A and B are shown apart, each in its own frame.
Chain A
Amino acid sequence: MTIAYDVTSGAARRSRVVGIVRRDFYALRGNGGRLLEIFFWPVLELVIWGFVSVFLRANNVPIAVSMLLGAVLLWQVVGRAQGELAAMFLHDVWSRNLLNVFVSPTSLAEFLTGHVIFGAGLIALSTGVMSGLALLLYGFGITTIGPALVPYLTLLVVMGWGLGVVSIAVVIRFGESTQSVAWVLSAAFQPFAAVFYPVGVLPPVAQAIAHAVPASYVFEGLRGVLDGRGIDWSGVAMAALLDLILVAGALAFIAHALRHARRTGRLSKFGE
Protein backbone atom coordinates (compact mmCIF):
# COMPACT_ATOMS: atom_id res chain seq x y z
CA MET A 1 0.00 0.00 0.00
CA THR A 2 1.39 3.43 -0.96
CA ILE A 3 1.44 6.23 1.57
CA ALA A 4 -1.03 8.30 -0.44
CA TYR A 5 -4.52 7.76 -1.83
CA ASP A 6 -4.84 7.26 -5.57
CA VAL A 7 -4.57 10.77 -6.98
CA THR A 8 -7.90 10.66 -8.83
CA SER A 9 -9.89 9.00 -6.02
CA GLY A 10 -12.60 10.83 -4.12
CA ALA A 11 -10.58 10.50 -0.91
CA ALA A 12 -7.59 12.24 -2.53
CA ARG A 13 -9.73 15.05 -3.92
CA ARG A 14 -11.40 15.58 -0.52
CA SER A 15 -8.02 15.56 1.18
CA ARG A 16 -6.68 18.27 -1.13
CA VAL A 17 -9.75 20.48 -0.71
CA VAL A 18 -9.59 20.06 3.08
CA GLY A 19 -5.89 20.91 2.90
CA ILE A 20 -6.70 24.26 1.26
CA VAL A 21 -9.46 24.96 3.82
CA ARG A 22 -7.05 24.08 6.63
CA ARG A 23 -4.37 26.36 5.14
CA ASP A 24 -6.86 29.26 5.04
CA PHE A 25 -7.92 28.61 8.62
CA TYR A 26 -4.33 28.52 9.89
CA ALA A 27 -3.45 31.66 7.91
CA LEU A 28 -6.38 33.56 9.42
CA ARG A 29 -5.66 32.32 12.93
CA GLY A 30 -2.05 33.43 12.61
CA ASN A 31 -3.01 36.93 11.51
CA GLY A 32 -4.97 38.83 14.14
CA GLY A 33 -4.94 42.00 12.04
CA ARG A 34 -6.77 40.32 9.20
CA LEU A 35 -9.33 38.84 11.57
CA LEU A 36 -10.03 42.35 12.84
CA GLU A 37 -10.26 43.67 9.29
CA ILE A 38 -12.91 41.12 8.37
CA PHE A 39 -15.27 42.72 10.87
CA PHE A 40 -13.99 46.29 11.09
CA TRP A 41 -15.13 47.75 7.75
CA PRO A 42 -18.56 46.09 7.57
CA VAL A 43 -19.31 47.01 11.19
CA LEU A 44 -18.14 50.59 10.59
CA GLU A 45 -20.43 50.85 7.58
CA LEU A 46 -23.32 49.36 9.51
CA VAL A 47 -22.87 51.85 12.35
CA ILE A 48 -22.60 54.85 10.01
CA TRP A 49 -25.60 53.93 7.85
CA GLY A 50 -27.56 53.01 10.95
CA PHE A 51 -27.09 56.47 12.41
CA VAL A 52 -27.79 58.11 9.05
CA SER A 53 -31.11 56.28 8.87
CA VAL A 54 -31.95 57.21 12.46
CA PHE A 55 -31.16 60.84 11.68
CA LEU A 56 -33.29 60.83 8.51
CA ARG A 57 -36.21 59.27 10.35
CA ALA A 58 -35.93 61.84 13.13
CA ASN A 59 -36.20 64.55 10.50
CA ASN A 60 -39.29 63.00 8.98
CA VAL A 61 -37.55 61.91 5.78
CA PRO A 62 -39.69 59.02 4.54
CA ILE A 63 -37.13 56.24 4.57
CA ALA A 64 -37.22 52.83 6.19
CA VAL A 65 -34.35 51.97 8.50
CA SER A 66 -34.77 48.36 7.44
CA MET A 67 -34.05 49.22 3.81
CA LEU A 68 -30.76 50.94 4.55
CA LEU A 69 -29.58 48.39 7.09
CA GLY A 70 -30.75 45.44 5.00
CA ALA A 71 -28.83 46.88 2.06
CA VAL A 72 -25.67 47.35 4.14
CA LEU A 73 -25.90 43.83 5.54
CA LEU A 74 -26.42 42.23 2.16
CA TRP A 75 -23.88 44.27 0.21
CA GLN A 76 -21.06 43.37 2.59
CA VAL A 77 -21.62 39.78 1.50
CA VAL A 78 -20.49 40.61 -2.06
CA GLY A 79 -17.39 42.46 -0.88
CA ARG A 80 -16.52 39.76 1.64
CA ALA A 81 -16.94 36.90 -0.86
CA GLN A 82 -14.85 38.63 -3.52
CA GLY A 83 -12.23 40.11 -1.19
CA GLU A 84 -11.59 36.99 0.86
CA LEU A 85 -11.21 34.76 -2.19
CA ALA A 86 -8.69 37.20 -3.67
CA ALA A 87 -6.90 37.72 -0.34
CA MET A 88 -6.40 33.99 0.22
CA PHE A 89 -4.82 33.67 -3.21
CA LEU A 90 -2.67 36.78 -2.71
CA HIS A 91 -1.36 35.42 0.59
CA ASP A 92 0.19 32.56 -1.38
CA VAL A 93 1.68 35.06 -3.82
CA TRP A 94 3.11 37.29 -1.07
CA SER A 95 4.63 34.39 0.82
CA ARG A 96 6.12 32.93 -2.41
CA ASN A 97 4.18 29.74 -1.80
CA LEU A 98 2.07 29.69 -4.95
CA LEU A 99 4.48 27.52 -6.97
CA ASN A 100 4.58 24.95 -4.16
CA VAL A 101 0.82 24.56 -4.56
CA PHE A 102 1.06 24.36 -8.35
CA VAL A 103 3.72 21.63 -8.25
CA SER A 104 1.47 19.55 -5.98
CA PRO A 105 -1.30 17.41 -7.50
CA THR A 106 -3.87 20.02 -6.41
CA SER A 107 -5.98 21.12 -9.37
CA LEU A 108 -7.23 24.64 -9.96
CA ALA A 109 -10.78 23.45 -9.24
CA GLU A 110 -9.73 21.95 -5.88
CA PHE A 111 -7.74 25.08 -5.05
CA LEU A 112 -10.74 27.34 -5.71
CA THR A 113 -13.21 24.98 -4.03
CA GLY A 114 -11.17 24.96 -0.82
CA HIS A 115 -10.98 28.76 -0.76
CA VAL A 116 -14.70 29.07 -1.53
CA ILE A 117 -15.66 26.70 1.31
CA PHE A 118 -13.55 28.61 3.80
CA GLY A 119 -14.86 31.92 2.44
CA ALA A 120 -18.44 30.69 2.96
CA GLY A 121 -17.66 30.10 6.63
CA LEU A 122 -16.25 33.62 6.97
CA ILE A 123 -19.28 35.16 5.28
CA ALA A 124 -21.62 33.29 7.60
CA LEU A 125 -19.61 34.50 10.57
CA SER A 126 -19.41 38.16 9.54
CA THR A 127 -23.07 38.25 8.49
CA GLY A 128 -24.04 36.71 11.82
CA VAL A 129 -22.05 39.27 13.80
CA MET A 130 -23.41 42.19 11.78
CA SER A 131 -26.98 40.93 12.03
CA GLY A 132 -26.61 40.70 15.78
CA LEU A 133 -25.28 44.25 15.93
CA ALA A 134 -28.07 45.59 13.70
CA LEU A 135 -30.63 44.03 16.02
CA LEU A 136 -28.87 45.27 19.12
CA LEU A 137 -28.22 48.84 17.97
CA TYR A 138 -31.18 49.61 15.72
CA GLY A 139 -33.73 46.89 16.40
CA PHE A 140 -33.44 45.60 12.84
CA GLY A 141 -33.60 41.83 12.56
CA ILE A 142 -32.26 40.38 9.30
CA THR A 143 -35.10 37.85 9.40
CA THR A 144 -37.41 40.78 8.63
CA ILE A 145 -36.45 40.09 5.03
CA GLY A 146 -38.17 36.71 5.40
CA PRO A 147 -37.67 33.66 3.14
CA ALA A 148 -36.30 35.92 0.39
CA LEU A 149 -33.12 36.15 2.44
CA VAL A 150 -31.99 32.70 1.29
CA PRO A 151 -32.05 33.30 -2.49
CA TYR A 152 -30.83 36.88 -2.08
CA LEU A 153 -27.82 35.89 0.04
CA THR A 154 -27.02 33.00 -2.30
CA LEU A 155 -27.14 35.24 -5.37
CA LEU A 156 -24.90 37.85 -3.76
CA VAL A 157 -22.36 35.30 -2.49
CA VAL A 158 -22.13 33.71 -5.93
CA MET A 159 -21.66 37.13 -7.53
CA GLY A 160 -18.88 37.87 -5.01
CA TRP A 161 -17.17 34.57 -5.77
CA GLY A 162 -17.43 35.23 -9.51
CA LEU A 163 -15.75 38.60 -9.03
CA GLY A 164 -13.18 36.98 -6.71
CA VAL A 165 -12.21 34.51 -9.42
CA VAL A 166 -11.97 37.40 -11.90
CA SER A 167 -9.62 39.31 -9.58
CA ILE A 168 -7.38 36.23 -9.16
CA ALA A 169 -7.38 35.73 -12.92
CA VAL A 170 -6.39 39.38 -13.48
CA VAL A 171 -3.36 38.97 -11.17
CA ILE A 172 -2.35 35.69 -12.85
CA ARG A 173 -2.81 37.15 -16.33
CA PHE A 174 -1.28 40.60 -15.82
CA GLY A 175 1.04 40.09 -12.86
CA GLU A 176 1.36 41.16 -9.25
CA SER A 177 1.25 44.87 -10.09
CA THR A 178 -2.49 44.51 -10.77
CA GLN A 179 -3.32 43.16 -7.33
CA SER A 180 -5.11 46.39 -6.35
CA VAL A 181 -7.94 45.09 -8.56
CA ALA A 182 -8.60 42.58 -5.79
CA TRP A 183 -9.40 45.38 -3.35
CA VAL A 184 -11.58 47.54 -5.59
CA LEU A 185 -13.43 45.19 -7.93
CA SER A 186 -16.63 44.68 -5.93
CA ALA A 187 -16.69 48.37 -4.94
CA ALA A 188 -16.53 49.28 -8.63
CA PHE A 189 -19.85 47.46 -9.12
CA GLN A 190 -21.58 49.12 -6.17
CA PRO A 191 -22.90 52.19 -8.05
CA PHE A 192 -24.61 49.83 -10.52
CA ALA A 193 -25.87 47.38 -7.92
CA ALA A 194 -28.73 49.65 -6.79
CA VAL A 195 -27.80 48.99 -3.18
CA PHE A 196 -29.25 52.17 -1.68
CA TYR A 197 -31.35 53.56 -4.53
CA PRO A 198 -33.48 52.13 -7.33
CA VAL A 199 -32.03 51.51 -10.79
CA GLY A 200 -34.48 54.09 -12.09
CA VAL A 201 -32.53 57.02 -10.62
CA LEU A 202 -29.45 56.16 -12.67
CA PRO A 203 -28.74 57.81 -16.04
CA PRO A 204 -29.68 55.61 -19.05
CA VAL A 205 -26.15 54.28 -19.70
CA ALA A 206 -25.68 53.40 -16.03
CA GLN A 207 -29.12 51.73 -16.03
CA ALA A 208 -28.04 49.53 -18.93
CA ILE A 209 -24.97 48.48 -16.95
CA ALA A 210 -27.04 47.94 -13.79
CA HIS A 211 -29.33 45.56 -15.68
CA ALA A 212 -26.28 43.35 -16.29
CA VAL A 213 -25.33 43.29 -12.60
CA PRO A 214 -26.96 40.42 -10.64
CA ALA A 215 -26.97 42.40 -7.39
CA SER A 216 -29.22 45.11 -8.85
CA TYR A 217 -32.10 42.60 -9.10
CA VAL A 218 -31.47 41.49 -5.53
CA PHE A 219 -31.57 45.00 -4.07
CA GLU A 220 -34.57 46.03 -6.17
CA GLY A 221 -36.24 42.85 -4.90
CA LEU A 222 -35.17 43.56 -1.33
CA ARG A 223 -36.87 46.94 -1.37
CA GLY A 224 -40.00 45.31 -2.75
CA VAL A 225 -40.03 42.65 -0.03
CA LEU A 226 -39.50 45.19 2.75
CA ASP A 227 -42.32 47.23 1.21
CA GLY A 228 -44.57 44.20 1.55
CA ARG A 229 -44.77 43.33 -2.16
CA GLY A 230 -43.43 39.77 -1.91
CA ILE A 231 -40.57 38.16 -3.76
CA ASP A 232 -40.03 39.15 -7.39
CA TRP A 233 -39.19 35.71 -8.75
CA SER A 234 -38.49 37.00 -12.24
CA GLY A 235 -35.79 39.24 -10.74
CA VAL A 236 -34.36 36.27 -8.83
CA ALA A 237 -34.29 34.22 -12.04
CA MET A 238 -32.59 37.05 -13.94
CA ALA A 239 -29.97 37.47 -11.21
CA ALA A 240 -29.36 33.71 -11.18
CA LEU A 241 -28.86 33.72 -14.95
CA LEU A 242 -26.43 36.65 -14.73
CA ASP A 243 -24.57 34.92 -11.87
CA LEU A 244 -24.27 31.82 -13.99
CA ILE A 245 -22.85 33.84 -16.89
CA LEU A 246 -20.46 35.67 -14.53
CA VAL A 247 -19.15 32.47 -12.92
CA ALA A 248 -18.79 30.68 -16.26
CA GLY A 249 -16.97 33.69 -17.69
CA ALA A 250 -14.75 33.98 -14.60
CA LEU A 251 -13.78 30.30 -14.77
CA ALA A 252 -13.06 30.56 -18.48
CA PHE A 253 -10.97 33.69 -17.82
CA ILE A 254 -8.92 32.10 -15.02
CA ALA A 255 -8.29 28.98 -17.14
CA HIS A 256 -7.12 31.25 -19.97
CA ALA A 257 -5.01 33.34 -17.56
CA LEU A 258 -3.29 30.24 -16.22
CA ARG A 259 -2.57 28.91 -19.71
CA HIS A 260 -1.19 32.32 -20.69
CA ALA A 261 0.91 32.55 -17.51
CA ARG A 262 2.37 29.11 -18.19
CA ARG A 263 3.06 29.94 -21.83
CA THR A 264 4.74 33.30 -21.13
CA GLY A 265 6.61 32.15 -18.01
CA ARG A 266 4.66 34.61 -15.85
CA LEU A 267 3.58 31.87 -13.46
CA SER A 268 7.22 31.17 -12.62
CA LYS A 269 7.64 34.87 -11.74
CA PHE A 270 5.36 34.33 -8.75
CA GLY A 271 8.28 32.45 -7.22
CA GLU A 272 10.62 35.42 -7.38
Chain B
Amino acid sequence: MNVLTVTGLRKRFGSVVAVDGVSFSVGAGEVVGLLGPNGAGKTTTLHMVFGLTTPDSGTVEMFGHDMAHERSRALARANFAASYLHLPHMLRVGEILTVYAQLYALRRPAARVAEMLELLELGPLRRQPFSRLSSGQQTRVLLAKALLNDPGLLVLDEPTANLDPDIADRIRGLLVEQAATSGRAMLITSHNMREVERMCHRVHFVSGGRIVATGSADELAGAYGVDDLEAVFLAVARGGVPT
Protein backbone atom coordinates (compact mmCIF):
# COMPACT_ATOMS: atom_id res chain seq x y z
CA MET B 1 0.00 0.00 0.00
CA ASN B 2 1.32 3.44 -0.90
CA VAL B 3 1.58 6.08 1.82
CA LEU B 4 2.35 8.72 -0.79
CA THR B 5 1.23 8.89 -4.40
CA VAL B 6 2.33 11.85 -6.49
CA THR B 7 0.79 12.09 -9.95
CA GLY B 8 1.73 14.46 -12.76
CA LEU B 9 2.99 17.33 -10.60
CA ARG B 10 3.85 20.39 -12.61
CA LYS B 11 4.97 23.83 -11.44
CA ARG B 12 6.08 26.85 -13.39
CA PHE B 13 7.57 30.01 -11.83
CA GLY B 14 7.35 32.71 -14.50
CA SER B 15 9.14 31.36 -17.54
CA VAL B 16 10.91 28.61 -15.59
CA VAL B 17 9.35 25.15 -15.44
CA ALA B 18 10.57 23.95 -12.03
CA VAL B 19 8.71 20.63 -11.98
CA ASP B 20 7.45 19.04 -15.17
CA GLY B 21 5.10 16.11 -14.77
CA VAL B 22 6.67 14.31 -11.80
CA SER B 23 4.97 11.09 -10.69
CA PHE B 24 6.17 8.63 -8.07
CA SER B 25 5.00 6.75 -5.03
CA VAL B 26 6.35 5.70 -1.66
CA GLY B 27 5.15 2.42 -0.21
CA ALA B 28 4.71 1.63 3.49
CA GLY B 29 8.11 0.98 5.05
CA GLU B 30 9.91 2.02 1.88
CA VAL B 31 12.81 4.50 1.85
CA VAL B 32 12.89 6.47 -1.39
CA GLY B 33 15.54 8.93 -2.52
CA LEU B 34 14.88 11.94 -4.70
CA LEU B 35 18.20 12.95 -6.23
CA GLY B 36 19.37 15.50 -8.69
CA PRO B 37 21.54 18.54 -9.21
CA ASN B 38 20.78 21.92 -7.64
CA GLY B 39 17.71 23.48 -9.23
CA ALA B 40 16.44 20.13 -10.51
CA GLY B 41 13.09 20.61 -8.76
CA LYS B 42 13.51 18.33 -5.72
CA THR B 43 12.67 20.85 -3.01
CA THR B 44 9.80 22.31 -5.03
CA THR B 45 8.42 18.77 -5.36
CA LEU B 46 8.69 18.17 -1.60
CA HIS B 47 7.04 21.52 -0.87
CA MET B 48 4.18 20.58 -3.20
CA VAL B 49 3.88 17.24 -1.39
CA PHE B 50 3.34 19.15 1.87
CA GLY B 51 1.09 21.81 0.38
CA LEU B 52 3.56 24.65 0.93
CA THR B 53 3.48 25.28 -2.80
CA THR B 54 0.38 24.73 -4.90
CA PRO B 55 1.02 22.74 -8.08
CA ASP B 56 -0.20 24.12 -11.42
CA SER B 57 -1.46 20.62 -12.12
CA GLY B 58 -1.18 17.14 -10.69
CA THR B 59 -2.26 15.57 -7.42
CA VAL B 60 -0.72 14.46 -4.13
CA GLU B 61 -2.35 11.72 -2.10
CA MET B 62 -0.97 10.98 1.36
CA PHE B 63 -2.35 8.00 3.32
CA GLY B 64 -5.23 8.02 0.86
CA HIS B 65 -6.07 11.68 1.64
CA ASP B 66 -6.06 14.19 -1.19
CA MET B 67 -3.73 16.98 -0.04
CA ALA B 68 -5.84 19.59 -1.81
CA HIS B 69 -8.88 18.81 0.34
CA GLU B 70 -7.81 16.84 3.43
CA ARG B 71 -4.53 18.49 4.26
CA SER B 72 -4.77 18.34 8.07
CA ARG B 73 -5.65 14.64 8.11
CA ALA B 74 -2.64 13.81 5.96
CA LEU B 75 -0.22 16.12 7.78
CA ALA B 76 -1.11 14.62 11.17
CA ARG B 77 0.48 11.35 10.01
CA ALA B 78 3.55 12.79 8.28
CA ASN B 79 6.46 15.00 9.26
CA PHE B 80 9.18 17.01 7.58
CA ALA B 81 12.67 18.20 8.42
CA ALA B 82 15.08 20.16 6.27
CA SER B 83 18.57 21.45 6.80
CA TYR B 84 17.43 24.97 5.83
CA LEU B 85 14.66 25.12 8.45
CA HIS B 86 15.26 26.07 12.04
CA LEU B 87 13.16 26.15 15.18
CA PRO B 88 12.31 29.14 17.41
CA HIS B 89 15.72 30.44 18.47
CA MET B 90 14.73 31.71 21.90
CA LEU B 91 12.98 28.52 22.97
CA ARG B 92 14.75 25.78 24.88
CA VAL B 93 14.97 22.28 23.42
CA GLY B 94 12.41 20.82 25.84
CA GLU B 95 10.04 23.74 25.21
CA ILE B 96 10.26 23.36 21.43
CA LEU B 97 9.40 19.68 21.59
CA THR B 98 6.55 20.32 24.02
CA VAL B 99 5.09 22.95 21.67
CA TYR B 100 5.29 20.63 18.67
CA ALA B 101 3.88 17.72 20.66
CA GLN B 102 0.82 19.93 21.17
CA LEU B 103 0.71 21.08 17.55
CA TYR B 104 0.55 17.40 16.59
CA ALA B 105 -2.11 16.90 19.30
CA LEU B 106 -0.31 14.05 21.05
CA ARG B 107 -2.25 12.36 23.85
CA ARG B 108 0.71 12.21 26.25
CA PRO B 109 2.98 15.03 25.13
CA ALA B 110 5.33 15.02 28.13
CA ALA B 111 6.01 11.27 27.87
CA ARG B 112 6.62 11.46 24.12
CA VAL B 113 8.96 14.44 24.53
CA ALA B 114 10.93 12.47 27.13
CA GLU B 115 11.18 9.53 24.68
CA MET B 116 12.49 11.78 21.92
CA LEU B 117 15.00 13.46 24.24
CA GLU B 118 16.33 10.03 25.12
CA LEU B 119 16.29 8.68 21.55
CA LEU B 120 18.21 11.65 20.15
CA GLU B 121 20.43 11.95 23.24
CA LEU B 122 19.17 15.45 23.91
CA GLY B 123 18.49 15.07 27.63
CA PRO B 124 21.46 17.19 28.78
CA LEU B 125 20.46 19.90 26.27
CA ARG B 126 16.79 20.15 27.17
CA ARG B 127 17.25 23.50 28.94
CA GLN B 128 19.47 24.98 26.24
CA PRO B 129 18.02 27.57 23.85
CA PHE B 130 18.02 26.36 20.23
CA SER B 131 20.24 29.31 19.21
CA ARG B 132 23.07 28.09 21.45
CA LEU B 133 23.26 24.61 19.93
CA SER B 134 25.84 23.44 17.41
CA SER B 135 24.70 22.46 13.89
CA GLY B 136 24.75 18.79 14.82
CA GLN B 137 22.72 19.39 17.96
CA GLN B 138 20.22 21.53 16.04
CA THR B 139 19.81 18.75 13.47
CA ARG B 140 19.08 16.28 16.25
CA VAL B 141 16.41 18.60 17.65
CA LEU B 142 14.89 18.97 14.17
CA LEU B 143 14.80 15.20 13.85
CA ALA B 144 13.27 14.84 17.32
CA LYS B 145 10.57 17.26 16.19
CA ALA B 146 10.09 15.27 12.99
CA LEU B 147 9.73 11.96 14.86
CA LEU B 148 7.44 13.28 17.63
CA ASN B 149 4.17 12.18 16.06
CA ASP B 150 5.58 8.77 15.06
CA PRO B 151 4.95 9.65 11.41
CA GLY B 152 4.04 7.01 8.89
CA LEU B 153 5.87 9.14 6.33
CA LEU B 154 8.99 11.10 7.17
CA VAL B 155 10.26 13.51 4.52
CA LEU B 156 13.81 14.80 4.89
CA ASP B 157 15.29 17.47 2.65
CA GLU B 158 19.08 17.10 2.86
CA PRO B 159 19.01 15.93 6.47
CA THR B 160 22.77 15.73 6.94
CA ALA B 161 23.87 18.81 4.99
CA ASN B 162 26.32 20.96 7.01
CA LEU B 163 27.14 18.14 9.42
CA ASP B 164 30.56 16.64 10.02
CA PRO B 165 30.98 13.02 8.83
CA ASP B 166 30.79 11.57 12.33
CA ILE B 167 27.49 13.25 13.27
CA ALA B 168 26.08 12.66 9.79
CA ASP B 169 26.89 8.96 10.09
CA ARG B 170 25.21 8.71 13.50
CA ILE B 171 22.10 10.40 12.20
CA ARG B 172 21.98 8.11 9.17
CA GLY B 173 22.34 5.13 11.51
CA LEU B 174 19.49 6.37 13.65
CA LEU B 175 17.22 6.95 10.65
CA VAL B 176 17.97 3.52 9.16
CA GLU B 177 17.27 1.88 12.51
CA GLN B 178 14.08 3.87 12.94
CA ALA B 179 12.86 2.94 9.47
CA ALA B 180 13.63 -0.74 10.08
CA THR B 181 12.02 -0.96 13.52
CA SER B 182 8.98 1.23 12.97
CA GLY B 183 8.14 0.36 9.38
CA ARG B 184 8.15 4.06 8.64
CA ALA B 185 8.28 5.21 5.03
CA MET B 186 10.82 7.89 4.19
CA LEU B 187 11.38 10.22 1.27
CA ILE B 188 14.83 11.78 1.26
CA THR B 189 16.76 14.25 -0.84
CA SER B 190 20.50 14.34 -0.50
CA HIS B 191 23.66 15.24 -2.34
CA ASN B 192 25.54 12.55 -0.44
CA MET B 193 25.40 9.50 -2.70
CA ARG B 194 26.84 7.12 -0.12
CA GLU B 195 24.10 8.18 2.24
CA VAL B 196 21.49 7.41 -0.40
CA GLU B 197 23.08 4.03 -1.23
CA ARG B 198 23.00 3.14 2.46
CA MET B 199 19.49 4.30 3.21
CA CYS B 200 17.28 4.10 0.14
CA HIS B 201 15.53 1.09 -1.36
CA ARG B 202 14.69 3.02 -4.49
CA VAL B 203 15.95 6.22 -6.08
CA HIS B 204 14.42 8.71 -8.50
CA PHE B 205 16.82 10.96 -10.37
CA VAL B 206 15.37 14.37 -11.16
CA SER B 207 16.80 16.64 -13.82
CA GLY B 208 15.20 19.70 -15.39
CA GLY B 209 12.06 19.11 -13.35
CA ARG B 210 11.54 15.55 -14.62
CA ILE B 211 12.27 12.11 -13.27
CA VAL B 212 14.85 10.78 -15.72
CA ALA B 213 15.81 7.50 -14.04
CA THR B 214 14.37 5.21 -11.38
CA GLY B 215 15.62 2.09 -9.66
CA SER B 216 17.75 0.77 -6.82
CA ALA B 217 21.34 2.02 -6.56
CA ASP B 218 22.62 -1.18 -8.19
CA GLU B 219 20.02 -1.13 -10.95
CA LEU B 220 20.83 2.47 -11.80
CA ALA B 221 24.58 1.90 -11.80
CA GLY B 222 24.02 -1.05 -14.12
CA ALA B 223 21.73 0.91 -16.42
CA TYR B 224 24.27 3.71 -16.80
CA GLY B 225 27.21 1.31 -17.03
CA VAL B 226 29.01 2.84 -14.05
CA ASP B 227 30.20 1.63 -10.66
CA ASP B 228 28.12 3.56 -8.18
CA LEU B 229 25.42 6.12 -7.58
CA GLU B 230 27.88 9.01 -7.58
CA ALA B 231 28.83 8.17 -11.16
CA VAL B 232 25.14 7.89 -12.06
CA PHE B 233 24.61 11.35 -10.54
CA LEU B 234 27.41 12.81 -12.64
CA ALA B 235 26.09 11.13 -15.76
CA VAL B 236 22.56 12.44 -15.14
CA ALA B 237 23.79 15.93 -14.27
CA ARG B 238 25.79 16.02 -17.52
CA GLY B 239 22.90 14.84 -19.63
CA GLY B 240 23.90 11.19 -19.91
CA VAL B 241 21.38 8.46 -20.74
CA PRO B 242 21.22 4.78 -19.73
CA THR B 243 23.42 2.54 -21.87
Query: Interface of A with B (CB < 8 Å)?
Result: 1-5, 7-9, 11-13, 15-16, 18-20, 22-23, 26-27, 30-31, 91-92, 94-97, 99-107, 259, 262-265, 267-268, 271-272
Q: Using a CB-CB cutoff of 8 Å, which residues 66-92 of chain B contact chain A?
A: 71-73, 75-76, 78-80, 82, 84-92
Chain A contacts for B100, CB-based, 8 A: 19, 100, 104
The secondary structure that dominates the B interface is: mixed
Task: Tell me the nearest residue of chain B to A17, going by C-beta.
Answer: B102
Chain B residues near A (Cβ < 8 Å) = 11, 13, 18, 43-44, 47, 50-54, 71-73, 75-76, 78-80, 82, 84-92, 95, 98-109, 112, 129-130, 145, 149-150
* A5-B105, A105-B103 known; A271 vs B85 contact (CB < 8 Å): yes
Instruction: Say yes or no: B72 contacts A22, CB within 8 Å.
Output: no
In the complex, A16 Cα to B75 Cα: how many Å? 13
Question: Which residue among A11, A102, A103 has the maximum number of chain B CB atoms within 10 Å of its CB?
Answer: A103
Task: Tell me, in angstroms, the Cα distance from A265 to B71 when the chains sit together.
Answer: 18
The answer to whether A22 touches B92, judged by C-beta atoms less than 8 angstroms apart, is: no
- Knowing A3-B112, A27-B88 are in contact, say whether A103-B76 is a contact too (CB < 8 A): no
Ordered nearest first, which 4 A-B pairs have the shortest CB separation?
Answer: A19-B102, A30-B90, A12-B105, A7-B76
Residue of A nearest to B145 (CB): A100
- Which of A18, A19, A100, A262 is within 8 Å of B53, CB to CB? A262
Residues of A within 8 A of B103 (CB): 15-16, 19-20, 101, 104-106
B130 partner residues in chain A, CB cutoff 8 A: 95
Considering the chains assembled together, what is the distance between the CA atoms of A98 and B129 in angstroms? 18
Chain A residues with Cβ below 8 Å from B88 are 23, 26-27, 91-92, 95, 97
Identify the closest chain B residue to A13 (Cβ): B105
Tell me how far the C-beta of A104 lies from the nearest C-beta in chain B, rounded to whole angstroms: 4
* Least distance between B117 CB and chain A CB atoms (Å): 16
CA distance A104 to B106 in the complex (A): 12
Question: How far is B82's CA from A19's CA once the two chains are assembled, in angstroms?
Answer: 22
Bound complex: CA of A18 vs CA of B101, how far in Å? Answer: 11
